[in-house]
């Protein structure tokens, strides 16, 4: 006779790995559209087509869910940026490749830009998201390392890092209101500014 193991407290029903992915995808959309404060787990679950035990088993709470989404978004960006700058040595080539990567990321999934833009504010305003600062910090560390490794940089690495992060966050904000063609035009304008302001031009 076949026996069925009992589920312990908090354990999700069998087959909820698909449910986890569905909750993450739905949460990504809802957080990008509404922000952390206005988003509700009820809407996330409705979009995911699942119930609260799946969310609580895998993420524990709304905050845990947001942090999981943020982790995935940051990892996706870092993978894309690392691949983009690989093989380039000059600052301009590296930044150009990063801007190209931002266009690809936004085209593939516009929630990426929206979440990255809003994350620093959400983390500061909501104490339960404090650990998210480490995730956001990984992006800053990546850009700073890139600046330090660029021999043709005219600014101090810390200054260049702040400037590049401001540009990237600005692009993320633009992605909220612009269509893809307009976004690409803004990226092209930023590229022109960077080429004229960040490197030592030959005498």
pLDDT at position 173 is 82
CA dihedral 115, 121, 126, 129 (to 10 degrees): 50
Arithmetic mean of pLDDT, 160-179: 86
d(CA 66, CA 95): 29
pLDDT at position 12 is 42
pLDDT at position 4 is 35
Confidence of residue 89 (pLDDT cuts 50, 70, 90): confident
Q: 132: number of CA atoms within 13 Å, CB side?
A: 28
All residues at 6 or more sequence positions from 171 whose CB lies less than 8 Å from its CB, including other chains: 102, 113, 183, 186, 187, 190
């Amino acid at each position: 006779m076949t026996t069925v193991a009992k589920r312990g407290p908090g354990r999700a029903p069998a087959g909820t790995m698909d449910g986890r992915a569905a909750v993450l995808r739905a949460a990504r959309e809802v957080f990008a559209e509404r922000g952390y404060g206005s988003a509700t787990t009820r809407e996330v679950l409705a979009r995911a087509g699942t119930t609260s035990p799946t969310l609580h088993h895998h993420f524990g709470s709304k905050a845990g869910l947001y942090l999981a989404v943020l982790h995935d978004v940051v990892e996706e960006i870092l993978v894309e940026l690392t691949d983009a700058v690989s093989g380039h040595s000059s600052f301009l080539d590296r930044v150009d490749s990063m801007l190209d990567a931002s266009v690809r990321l936004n085209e593939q999934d516009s929630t990426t830009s929206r979440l990255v833009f809003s994350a620093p504010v959400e983390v500061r305003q909501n104490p339960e998201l404090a650990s998210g600062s480490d995730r956001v910090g990984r992006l800053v560390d990546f850009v700073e390392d890139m600046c330090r490794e660029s021999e043709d940089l005219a600014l101090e690495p810390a200054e260049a890092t702040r400037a590049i992060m401001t540009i990237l966050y600005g692009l993320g904000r633009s992605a909220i209101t612009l269509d893809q063609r307009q976004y690409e035009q803004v990226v092209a304008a930023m590229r022109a500014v960077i080429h004229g302001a960040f490197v030592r031009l030959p005498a």
